[in-house]
Structure 1
Amino acid sequence: MKTSRRLEQALIKLYNAFHNNKLNPEDCTACAVGNILDNHDSWKHLSNEHGSLELSYVGRVHQNLGRKFNGYSPQEILQIEKVFLEACGFKTPLCHYNSKPLNPRSKEVLFNGLSAVIALLCKLDNTTNIMDYSKLFEQDNGEPTYHLDTFLN
């Protein structure tokens, strides 16, 4: 499957962060967006509330100028972060009294967040969700519609 450079780079960064235990929804340099943006936190100024879709003045300026951050617009950055946080179990926008998961760094919580982000990234690029494995279970007259090539030693 052919993917855009921004999608490919984002997937690589998120994959590595997940497997190297560098994905943390409570750290703006290590969350989904933080990892996509090379572990910098300057993106947090795009909004006044973490997990909000409303651009701050700074965010609106960057959006109106057509600025991109590793290929993503300020509005896309906020969408990615909101999807990640909510899929991890946080109520957004983040606030000390809003609900959050019991263990925000558990692999299950992070995988849920990562899956939701990947689905959004694919949607933003108008490409098929690479995490969608439902085609593997499609059948035609009781036979699999698609076949996996397996290599056995």
Structure 2
Amino acid sequence: MQNVSRLENAVQKLYIAFNSNSLNPECCKQCAVGNILDNTDNWKHFSDVHGSINLNYIGRVNQLMGKRFNGYSPEQILKIETTFLKACGYQLPFNHKSLKPENATDKDTLFIGLCEVIKLLCDFEGVDDVLNYTKLFTHNNEKTPKSIRNNSLQKS
């Protein structure tokens, strides 16, 4: 586990942005990365194309120098952005001709994007997805009372 505090900070910033309606995939200061990086847009200079994971010269220099921006490398920042845009329904790389969602700031669209970003952030940290609720609904069949097991088998 690298740095759980950067995960917590990023999730908190995304949560605040989502709930205060200040999350916008088409604004470099209000997208997932813009919010994680304190509503700055300096990160957009790491690539020549919006929605690309390919670092340009500036991005490669920063990456090779080991620079971190709120704990994230330039490669990670571009990966976060592409993950968010793809999950929100954007065709990448994104430009004025690309397909995009009808309503980019629709809460359902943004929520799907945020879930994918949080899953990626957890992968960066080497921890389980904090939003994965499936374990809450799993149970060990051996510990389930026999009457319930038999009843559920009869309904199938």
Q: TM-score scaled to structure 2, two decimals?
A: 0.88
Give the AA of the match of 1:13. K
1:79 Cα offset (Å): 0.2
1:137 Cα offset (Å): 1.1
Provide the rounded CA distance (Å) in 2 between the counterparts of 1:47 and 1:103. Answer: 26
Instruction: State yes or no: 1:41 paired with 2:41.
Output: yes
RMSD between superposed Cα atoms in Å:
1.0
Unaligned 5+ runs, structure 1: 144-153
Deviations 1:35-76 (A, max 9, x none): 000000111000000110000100000000000000000000
Which portions of structure 1, spanning 4 or more consecutive aligned residues, are displaced by more than 3 angstroms? none
Provide the rounded CA distance (Å) in 2 between the counterparts of 1:38 and 1:92. Answer: 24
RCO higher in structure (CA 8 A, sep ≥6): 2
Provide the rounded CA distance (Å) in 2 between the counterparts of 1:9 and 1:140. Answer: 35
Determine which structure has the larger helix proportion and give its number: 2
Instruction: State yes or no: 1:122 paired with 2:122.
Output: yes
Give the AA of the match of 2:78. L
Partner of 1:101: 101
Partner of 1:148: none
Provide the rounded CA distance (Å) in 1 between the counterparts of 2:140 and 2:74. Answer: 44
Provide the rounded CA distance (Å) in 2 between the counterparts of 1:140 and 1:122. Answer: 26
Partner of 1:135: 135
- How do 1:52-67 residues align onto structure 2 when only pairs under 5 Å count? 52-67=52-67
Number of residue pairs matched by the alignment: 141
1:5 Cα offset (Å): 1.2
Provide the rounded CA distance (Å) in 1 between the counterparts of 2:5 and 2:121. Answer: 12
Partner of 1:18: 18
Percent identity, please.
Answer: 52
